[in-house]
A = this chain, B = another copy of it.
Amino acid sequence: LKKTSRANHILKTFGKWVICFFIGVLVGVAAYIVKQSVEFVNEFKFKSSEKYIEDGHKFIGFLVYYAINVLFGVLASLVIIPVGQIASGSGIPEVKGYLNGIRIPQSLNVKTLFGKLISLVFAFSSGLILGPEGPMIHIGSMLGGAIGQVKSKTLKWYPKIFWKYHNDRDRRDFISTGASAGVAAAFGAPIGGVLFGFEEASSFWSKQLTWRTFFACLIATFTTNIILQGFQMQLHDYGVLTFGFSTQYLYRYAELVGFAFIGVLGGLMGAFFVYLNARLSKWRSNFFAKKKIYYRVLEVFILITISSSVLYGASSFTKCRDTNAIIDSSTDNVELSNSTMLIHFACPENQYNDMASLSFNTLDAALRLLYSRSTNVFTVPTLIAFTIISFSLTTITSGLMLASGLFIPMMLIGASLGRLVGQVGELVFHQISPPIDPSIYAMVGSSAMMAGFSRMTISLAIIIVELTEGTQYMLPVILSVMIAKWVGDIFNESIYEHLMEQKCYPFLPTQPPKSKIKMGITDFMKTDTVTLHDVEKVSRVIQVLQSNKHHGFPVIERPQDDGTRSDNDVLDDYGNKLQYDEETTYSGLILRHQLTILLYYKIFCPKQSMPLNPRLTGGSSARKYPQRRWGRPTDYGHAPADSRMNYELMTQSLARHFPPIDKMNISKDEIENLYIDLRPYMNLSSIVANETFSFSETYQLFRTMGLRHLPVVNKKNEVVGIVTRKDLL
């Protein structure tokens, strides 16, 4: 809302780029920390455990594995306690909610940031089936919010150069950028990150934002890469999964039927997952509501016990297979050799355990194996078992009190399912040559499963393409994503919508709710509007601020004050106690924060010293206006600002926190006898709805303009109500 001069404008824009650069760097570093520490812990865990297994001490091996899992899992959970529950889970509902315009306390502060980061590293090392991407998105947005507005409430340190970014719009943009950079760094997918921000995370998006976010995403990906690889010559980009070409063929068009089938499966299983998870979350929140928080740590402990036992147990009961029998059909000479990722478990040299390669392995390695172009790595029973195991474990794991995401688990389930379909297809159509390549089915399965639970579309397709570093398989990927989304949408909404509903966030989706579509604005607006007069008594301002929690107040004009106005002149529900003067008309909107600032700096005036601007208080013929030139009409009202409170001080003050009103030291005399002139400070350009507006138009206004308050006026321009986000749900 604030406009600055041209030089300031350029400086401010440049500052945004610098901030985006730092968002990128820090998110990249955070992603590196997560990746590197997890790798370190996992290597230690599997190495220690394998030592015993190779010697035949399977049970001791399990104990070592289990002990390390419990240690990290419980730590991940304990970290959450001092920080607050907001740091557990993926954080995507919180980010989506914030970017939709909902204030969620604590959701984006520094304490949550560190809690989440530490919990994520521990949780990801605990042998549970969970991923780092969701939390990385939350961490990214917290970094975005923090860097854009460097300040410290505790240190009372409010650096001046960041003041200009202390407004809703800029903060929202930086948080969007951070969320996108989180995706970019986690997946190594800069374009996927931008599209995620646009498609899934944000509700408001502009072209400038696209461009800056793209920059931040690139920096984030690049930072992670550079730290991981150093500055040496590159033989390969750091791609999480490299796919390469097949020597045989890409795919037959007839196989699109198979990919479509996987799409249907992904949609069904995704919807089923959402259903189960929503039920489970509900049960959890009821069950733990009145229990001590340590019960939630106990839950983590139990889940790790189940998880470790099942994954380890499944490996123990699987037969060994010969390593040499694997046929590699990839042409990609830079692909990492799969054999290094295959797990021997209790098998002799030159043999491997195919279930252990999935379950007793890092999720990354398991995923790579499922995507490997080697056609006969896994047996069909192994894939069936692993699909069921991973689906079940993911369902019960998601919602635990630790930082956890769903992308990698869903990719794993999908890859296993897809590969299964591919291998069964190969068995059924074994006479055709060249044979069906199950690895493509694994990739398509991942896409379908991810689309099934998250209902993302284009951003998902791009993330998959960037992950697998090739556009050759884009058609199958997109096809399965589309079908999975359609199928899933028949049954329920995405997991994020469900979580937000459960957490009671008033999220405004793109489409208005069907139930209200025939309403008029007067059917759902609040009629207990609290209005202020343009020159208002200090006592009434204080009374209004203390008696309700509204954030915006319509300001009305009253040409003549006869002094009889009571301080309780507030409308009750349905406006039965209307006490407006006949001639009061709407003139602007003022925010709670602005009123607090005016009180804090005591911008008071005696009643008569502030005459109304004669050019504006008279009649209303258009003739008067063409000469009007008083600059910045958005910033200032139609009266000269008080010399004690100029534009700059107001802007700067908006970035600060002020003490509560009763600690402000305003004397009784000031309260009772002085006035505040709101006219220079109120927003004259705030949009107003007519009482004839329809619901859908109002909804559209809120969504596209990002409104928080919409005063409703009647034919005579008198305020008859106000609409806020909650009225639209």
Contact = CB atoms under 8 A, between A and B. Distances in A.
A466 interface: yes
A692 B687 contact: no
Contacts of A606: none
A642 B715 CA distance: 24
B626 A523 contact: yes
A431 to B, nearest CB: 15
Interface stretch (A39-47, A359-367, A697-705): A697-705
Given A633-B520, A717-B716, A211 B465 contact: no
Given A470-B469, A684-B693, A510 B207 contact: yes
Contacts of A520: 625, 628, 630, 633
A271 B110 CA distance: 44
Interface stretch (A97-105, A141-149, A245-253, A341-349): A245-253
B623 A575 contact: yes
B471 A465 contact: yes
Q: Most chain-B CB neighbours within 10 Å: which of A332, A475, A692?
A: A692
A239 interface: yes
A416 interface: no
A332 B245 contact: yes
A583 to B, nearest CB: 10
A446 interface: no
Given A214-B478, A622-B714, 4 more contacts: A191-B462, A465-B471, A523-B625, A571-B622
A661 interface: no
A298 to B, nearest CB: 41
A203 B715 CA distance: 33
A471 B250 CA distance: 18
Nearest to A522: B625
14 contacts: A206-B510, A214-B461, A218-B478, A232-B253, A331-B333, A469-B470, A469-B472, A471-B471, A518-B632, A527-B622, A586-B715, A634-B694, A687-B687, A687-B701
Copies in the complex: 2
A474 interface: yes
A234 B235 CA distance: 29
A194 interface: yes
B234 A714 contact: no
Nearest to A211: B457
A387 interface: no
A226 B256 CA distance: 13
A189 to B, nearest CB: 8
A620 B231 contact: no
A504 interface: no
A227 to B, nearest CB: 12
A3 interface: yes
A334 B250 CA distance: 11
A620 B331 contact: no
Contacts of A690: 586, 684-685, 688
Interface string A259-270: 000000000000
B210 A457 contact: yes
Contact of A214 (B235, B457, B632): B457
Given A704-B705, A705-B705, A191 B474 contact: yes
